[in-house]
Structure 1
């Protein structure tokens, strides 16, 4: 595993984080409890010291799994836990709520779910257009001043929103979607780096499409995140992604590595990326992902992939 300092926080993050949206279960298929808990244990055993979760991941279920696994291992002081606020999961729907009282309630519930008395990094999951940004951000600042959360940041914000928020609170982190099939946030993330924020990427393997496991067009249910949130699994994007996978296949064969490791290194080797979040629900997948951080792509390989990524994401 590779590690680097995360922004100005002073925390050393593993370059790979375990994402737990899938471990929460909603919209990602049915995996038994023992397997989910073992996935978290496997991540820590592989040297992953950052776990990303949120109360919106199946109404706190993912947070509860994280809390149970970390407590059982007795490693709370060795693991950086990132969770979020301002977004809840109610009756199968995601509902934004950035009100002061709501965030305070969410924070207290997250502490209970996670079986901890502090949160290492607390993010606003999504901006709430119905609530003044100042109300949301000053609530984060007050939680930091109380010591309940140690560092704060945002996810899925625009630059303008972050500039406004920064007048009220020092933002230490930005989390956004970024991958070979969704590179559109590069300029925003570069700006965040220039502001000395730590930058985390989610969707780093394109919800699994960059593993190459799916090579034929399939239909997913409306509540499946591969149809609801990620747009790579439908045309016209799907065929372009298949062409990209063909370029990745060549490098994978030469290196004798799975495509997933190529996708992860492409993200992690961007100089503006501090941390790459990847979700997995099985031990062997986490071990395979961690192996990506034992090697790096060459400049020549990166050039080939960058060109293919540009074509795949062209209109």
Structure 2
């Protein structure tokens, strides 16, 4: 496993981390606790020592499962545990709340569910326009001083929002959506993070499974699966993205003797400023491709060829905007 040291925190992170949104079950068709715990253990055994979770993933379920897995595994000091703050929920409806009172409540709830007395990286899940960023940052800085968190991060923040936040507390990480198909952060968020030494923890690395190479035109999603509301998974766009995957897979085999899943992850972890790419898995076997992502890189000529494939196959690309919870309007 390759590693990166965060510039603004004394923390070393693996280039691939385990994302546990799906483990929480909500919007992913439920969860199997035993398989989820086995997956966390398998990830740690492979050197995937950063575990990323959030209270809203299954409304506490993901954190509870991660906590059980870590209690059984031990070696807490070798694990980088990242969770989030700033989303409230009621009857399945999610809203943004980054107030100091909410932060105080959430850190205690998260520590209890995770079975630990500190979190390594504590991230504001979405920007809250109703609370000054400096006020949120100051509340997190206080948690650092108390030893309840080691480093502060944000997620889904713009450069302007990060700059306002950083006036009150140093930012170690930003977690944006980023993958071969969703590259909206390039030139803005990504450049700012590189310039400021903020490590990016990229989520959606395989674009909700699209870049796994396992989906077909007849793949169906049921229940509360979020891909039912993702424009990428609706025809005719779904067909365009699948054609891109087919061609990227052929290219990966021809040039690197790898598959599209390896190409997508290698491309991502080699991007400037990316400290970690989150790999979402619910079963141990879904981690099998990890080893083939390590130990090589994509050259400039192949990056150009990859971009050409994307342009030719996807005439109407769309981003991850559909996932954003309703925004709050700043109060006077």
Partner-residue secondary structure (3-state), 2:121:
strand
Normalized against structure 1, the TM-score is what?
0.93
Verify the 8 A CA contact 1:24 1:62 in the aligned structure 2.
yes
What corresponds to 1:263 in structure 2?
Answer: 264
Instruction: Determine the C-alpha separation between the residues in 2 that align with 1:148 and 1:312.
Output: 47
Verify the 8 A CA contact 1:46 1:287 in the aligned structure 2.
no
Partner-residue secondary structure (3-state), 1:300:
helix
What corresponds to 2:234 in structure 1?
Answer: 234
Partner-residue secondary structure (3-state), 1:17:
strand
1:184 aligns with 2:184: yes
Partner-residue secondary structure (3-state), 2:214:
coil
Instruction: Determine the C-alpha separation between the residues in 1 that align with 2:6 and 2:37.
Output: 26
How many residue pairs align between the two structures?
A: 314
Instruction: Determine the C-alpha separation between the residues in 1 that align with 2:142 and 2:191.
Output: 28
Partner-residue secondary structure (3-state), 2:116:
coil
Stretch moving more, 110-119 or 298-307:
298-307
What corresponds to 1:248 in structure 2?
Answer: 248
Instruction: Determine the C-alpha separation between the residues in 2 that align with 1:90 and 1:207.
Output: 25
Verify the 8 A CA contact 2:198 2:273 in the aligned structure 1.
no
What corresponds to 1:168 in structure 2?
Answer: 168
What corresponds to 1:115 in structure 2?
Answer: 115
Gaps of 5+ in 2: 317-332
Instruction: Determine the C-alpha separation between the residues in 1 that align with 2:315 and 2:223.
Output: 26
Cα offset, 1:67, TM superposition: 1.2
Verify the 8 A CA contact 1:260 1:289 in the aligned structure 2.
no
1:302 aligns with 2:270: no
Gaps of 5+ in 1: none
Cα offset, 1:236, TM superposition: 4.8
Normalized against structure 2, the TM-score is what?
0.89
What corresponds to 1:210 in structure 2?
Answer: 211
What corresponds to 2:126 in structure 1?
Answer: 126
Verify the 8 A CA contact 1:17 1:275 in the aligned structure 2.
yes
Partner-residue secondary structure (3-state), 2:278:
strand
RMSD value, Cα? 1.9
What corresponds to 1:64 in structure 2?
Answer: 64
Spell out, residue by residue over 1:195-227, the C-alpha distance to the aligned partner (whole angstroms, 9 max, x if none): 011111000100001112222165645832113
Spell out, residue by residue over 1:63-104, the C-alpha distance to the aligned partner (whole angstroms, 9 max, x if none): 111111112111110000010000134322222111111111
Verify the 8 A CA contact 1:217 1:238 in the aligned structure 2.
no
Verify the 8 A CA contact 2:210 2:242 in the aligned structure 1.
no
